[in-house]
Amino acid sequence: MRRSSGGPAPARTALPPDVHGLAPSDSPAPGTFEAIYAALEACSEPVIGPARPRLLVIPIHDDGGSVAGGLWGYTLFGWLHVQMLFIPEPMRNRGAGTALMAAAEAEARARGCRGAHVDTFSFQAVAFYRKLGFAPFGELRDCPPGHARLFFYKRYDNG
């Protein structure tokens, strides 16, 4: 940015002394997540109420009883968030994914949810979610490089 007066550049705001020593980490001390979460919730709770995520998991087992796929998500603030969905290859294109989502959405409705949201990559299940009535609401291009991360939602009511 050009300075029109030719005077000195404005002073930069320094970090407060108590936050010096900030260091990124991929192995935080035990309790770090909980401490940050508690601080965030304390700030947000007066506005939105308590954050009480509830897991919603539907595993698919193989013939030996091992988990071979399924759905992993949670309900929070009246919405189902599908974090992972995987259908084993032999079960694909046979209605298993549709049945899995129908079961998850039925449970979400029973929990009082108003809708569901999910994200997927451009090379994965875009057509599947559109077929189930999900509408796009966001795109993060080049994530992963050369592709996009797409965000979809579906309301169960007319809101």
pLDDT given for residue 22 in this prediction: 87
- pLDDT (tens digit, 9 = 90+) per residue, 43-65? 999 999 988 999 999 999 999 99
Average pLDDT, the chain: 91
Asked if residue 13 has pLDDT above 80, the reply is no
- Higher pLDDT pick, 70 / 12: 70
| Length in residues, the chain | 159
Q: 54-155: what fold?
A: Aminopeptidase (3.40.630)
φ and ψ at residue 56, rounded to 5 degrees = -135, 105
pLDDT band at 1, cuts 50/70/90? very low
Q: What tokens appear for 80 in the block?
A: 């189902």
Question: Which residues have CB under 8 Å from 59's CB, separation 6+?
Answer: 67, 69, 70
Residue with tokens 């077929």: 131
Q: How far apart are alpha carbons 75 and 81 in whole angstroms?
A: 6
